[in-house]
Amino acid sequence: MSTNRRSDIDIAKGFALFLVVLGHVVTMHHTIFRWIYAFHMPAFFFLSGMTFRPEKYSSCLDYIKKRGRTLVLPYFFITMTALAICTIRPYYHLAIDEYGWKHILKWIFYYGQPQQIYVGQLWFLPALFFAGLYALIWLRIFDKKSITVRCYALVALILAGTYIRLADPLIPVMNRLPWKVDSALCAAVFLIAGYYANRTKLLEKMMPYAGFLIPFFAVLSFFFGPKLSDYVNLCDCRYTAPPYYFGAAFSGIFALLLTAKLAALPAVSGSVFSRFWQFCGRRSMLLFSIQSFALYFFVELILRTTGVELKPMEWMPTRLSTFALTTATFALICLIGWPRDCYKRKMEQK
């Protein structure tokens, strides 16, 4: 049975995925790094909101059952697979030896963010699970209310998400809430925004002005992001003042999505460029999951062949090396994902 997909959403996911890979290579002190982190993960939650269908779930328990199968189970399956690989491969096992099993298991099962086993990006899955649950509850309560009430309710969610980590000293055992339930608060804001943007066809209304709005939003995102703010990270609940953080995030999201909609127009949708990014978006979860292994495959290869140890996000010798490592990593995950994409498409066409 075939499924209908929106090519603009797939292309936007592909663009965001490339930014994830670049963000895991470029050094943390670089302006580009801070700009990417201002909006790249919020974009994934916004895109998830654009496909969010609260009417599919009869209750919160129904949501937990259905999304638990599609988000929580994959989190554990991929994490355990990665843990097995890191246990077997000597190069990957070095970090486990350094930090110890207690640290590794605590971050997998309590914090919901595997560390030192090259799939730390999977924090997105538990965060998306809880963000969807928050959004479902929020929509059930406020969706039929007036626009004024909804705006106040969304502001309350923004403030709760932005300042949730002030409660960390009150937690008696660990130093942070478990399973990204804190990150999910701000993530829910983007998910709800994506839901309403799709429902009101906001991006379609912007398209006649895309030539002006894309550079405008890009500059605005840079201005509110690295220009006025420090490093932010949705994963760690590290935010600046809400107007700066959300200004940078939403501006970057709209610049990204409007660019994707241009690439999805009929005049270019059949081009190799457009079809490639659609493929990246269709299989973004697979490519997203394996990108760190692909990255450190090249790091190890370079170390063994040249004796030079690159340290993504910490030290890269030149801008060219950063771009080359990002491109090689992205090409490898696409190469790995291509056979599965062909198989899945054949199955969907039956």
By the 10 Å C-beta count (0-12 exposed, 13-18 middle, 19+ buried), 9 is classed as: buried
278 in any annotated domain: yes
In a domain, 2, yes or no: no
Q: Which of 144, 166, 142, 163 is nearest to 154 (CA)?
A: 142
**pLDDT at position 3 over 60:** no
As to burial, measured by CB atoms within 10 angstroms (0-12 exposed, 13-18 middle, 19+ buried), residue 202 is: middle
Q: What's the first-to-final CA gap in the chain, in angstroms?
A: 5
Other C-beta atoms lying within 10 Å of the C-beta of residue 243: 11
Using DSSP's 3-state secondary structure scheme, residue 94 falls into: helix
Task: Establish if 316 belongs to a structural domain.
Answer: yes
Whether 180 shows a pLDDT value over 60: the answer reads yes
**Per-residue tokens: 41:** 């993960």
In this predicted model, which residue has the larger pLDDT, 329 or 2?
A: 329
Query: In this structure, what are the phi and psi dihedrals at residue 349, rounded to the nearest 5 degrees?
Result: -80, -10
Question: In the structure encoding, which two tokens stand for residue 295, read together?
Answer: 């990255």
309 pLDDT more than 50: yes
Asked if residue 75 is part of any domain, the answer here is yes
To 10 degrees, what angle do helices 124-142 and 147-163 make? 150
Look at residue 303 and tell me if it is in a domain: yes
- For residue 339, name the pLDDT band (cuts at 50, 70, 90): confident
Neighbour tally for 152: CB within 10 Å: 13
Q: Are 62 and 115 in contact (CB under 8 A)?
A: no
* Residue 122 domain flag: yes
| Residues 224-253 pLDDT 10s | 999 999 899 999 999 999 999 999 999 999
Sign of CA pseudo-dihedral 283, 289, 292, 298: negative
pLDDT score of 246: 97
pLDDT tens for residues 184-216?
A: 999 999 999 999 999 999 999 999 999 999 999
Assigned domain for 1 exists: no
CA atoms within 13 Å, Cβ hemisphere of 208: 2
Condensed to tens digits (0 to 9), the pLDDT of residues 120-145 reads: 999 999 999 999 999 999 999 999 99
Confidence of residue 78 (pLDDT cuts 50, 70, 90): very high
- Inside any domain, residue 313: yes
E strand residue ranges, the chain? none
Q: At what angle do helices 7-23 and 272-282 cross, to 10 degrees?
A: 80
CA angle (53 as vertex; 111, 277 as ends), nearest 5 = 75
Kindly report, residue by residue over 9-59, the tens digit of the pLDDT: 999 999 999 999 999 999 988 899 999 999 999 999 999 999 999 999 999
257 or 338: whose pLDDT is higher?
A: 257
Residue span of the structural domain in which 181 resides: 7-349
Phi/psi at 236 (5° precision): -95, 10
- The rounded distance, in Å, linking the Cα atoms of 82 and 214 is 38
* CA–CA separation, 151 and 104 (whole Å): 41
What pLDDT does 2 receive? Answer: 46
Location of structure tokens 């075939």? 2
pTM of the predicted protein model: 0.94
- Model confidence pLDDT, tens digit, residues 278-305: 999 999 999 999 999 999 999 999 999 9
The domain total for the chain is: 1
